[in-house]
Amino acid sequence: MSAPTLDRPTDEAALQQRFDATIAADRRIEPRDWMPDGYRKTLVRQIAQHAHSEIIGMQPEGDWLLAAPSLRRKAILLAKVQDEAGHGMYLYSAAETLGADRADLTDKLIEQKQKYSSIFNYPTLTYADVGVIGWLVDGAAICNQVPLCRSSYGPYARAMIRICKEESFHQRQGYELLMTMMGGTEEQRAMVQDAVDRWWWPSLMMFGPPDDDSPNSAQSMAWGIKRHSNDELRQRYVDMSVPQAQFLGVTLPDPDLHWDEETGHWRFGPIDWAEFKQVVSGNGPANAERIRRRRAARDDNAWVTEAATAYARKHAGAVTEGAA
């Protein structure tokens, strides 16, 4: 047996030291590297929640696929909703590199043992909601996710690069739809304003609880999983969105919103954290429906998974026999 060297540490303390040095040097942790249990658990938790959000996030806009007002709008929306499915798949794959099992993660979502983003528990009442989701919800997702492209875990960071590119297209298609509606009739402009009124505050909640009530932030930032705090990103998002709202010609539903010359930021009013807690604990307007549909998708399509698994097994057997 070879003696342990600095290159191939064998004891836990040396492994921890190497992990810490990798994080301190801002290099990536890869699936085969040793990592502390807490780091692995935190990543599985965040990546699984993120993947679930993408999959559940297909529902609010998916509800408008059959009612899109033109073939062009339908094609754009279809492409966007399919992209979200793809994002979910990249993210479940990233979670698998940490030893998580995809079917088990789906079960945990359906049994409500794992969370998904609060934002997807609000209904899409008019077609303007599709535009506002693209502009505000994808806008918030980009703001939160661009820094995750530099997350310390390699597979997560790399998945985020592609996801962010696609989210940028999503945001633009939403904004373009809203610009078109704002150039339309009074009724269309009113639909946009109504959608903005309903989605603005929930979009601010997407960034998570305030920093002093965010149990995971400090450790996640020390590990380089998260790069900025929830409040920092929320402020960045408000600063980015206010000029976009002005250009669009809508009013953000916040009487306290004002420009703070001293700090160079748009200051906003208090967020209703009681509503956030209600939604996250399963009591939002559409939680039950979202989970009911996800459960039905799993159960009704189980035969596809079984058939694909049987085919893959048979094919793998044939390959092994061929090799022999």
Task: Enumerate binding residues for ligand FAQ (CB under 6 A).
Answer: 45-46, 49-50, 53-54, 57, 84, 115, 117-118, 133, 137-138, 141, 144-145, 205-209, 214-217, 220, 226, 230, 280
Specify the DSSP class assigned to residue 220. Answer: H
Residue nearest to ligand FAQ (CB): 57
Dihedral of the alpha carbons of 66, 68, 71, 76, in degrees to the nearest 10: -100
Q: Which is nearer to ligand FAQ, 144 or 173 (CB)?
A: 144
Q: Give, rounded to a whole angstrom, the gap between the first and last alpha carbons of the chain.
A: 34
Taking alpha carbons only, the member of 246, 221, 222, 249 closest to residue 233 is: 221
Q: Which is nearer to ligand FAQ, 22 or 117 (CB)?
A: 117
Question: Max alpha carbon distance in the chain (Å)?
Answer: 80
Identify the bridge partners of residue 127 per DSSP, sorted by sequence position. none
Specify the DSSP class assigned to residue 14. Answer: H
Q: Which is nearer to ligand FAQ, 22 or 46 (CB)?
A: 46
Q: Which is nearer to ligand FAQ, 119 or 189 (CB)?
A: 119
If one counts every other C-beta atom within 10 angstroms of the C-beta of residue 133, the result is 28
Q: In whole angstroms, how close is the CB of 269 to ligand FAQ at the nearest point?
A: 19
Q: In whole angstroms, how close is the CB of 313 to ligand FAQ at the nearest point?
A: 33
Q: In whole angstroms, how close is the CB of 89 to ligand FAQ at the nearest point?
A: 13
| 3-state DSSP assignment of residue 217 | helix
Q: Which helix (H) or strand (E) holds 64?
A: none
How many helices and strands (H and E) does the chain possess?
Answer: 14, 2
Q: In whole angstroms, how close is the CB of 34 to ligand FAQ at the nearest point?
A: 23
Rounded-to-integer distance, Cα 192 and Cα 129, Å: 8
Q: Which is nearer to ligand FAQ, 22 or 287 (CB)?
A: 287
Q: In whole angstroms, how close is the CB of 71 to ligand FAQ at the nearest point?
A: 22
Q: In whole angstroms, how close is the CB of 156 to ligand FAQ at the nearest point?
A: 9
Q: Which is nearer to ligand FAQ, 159 or 248 (CB)?
A: 159
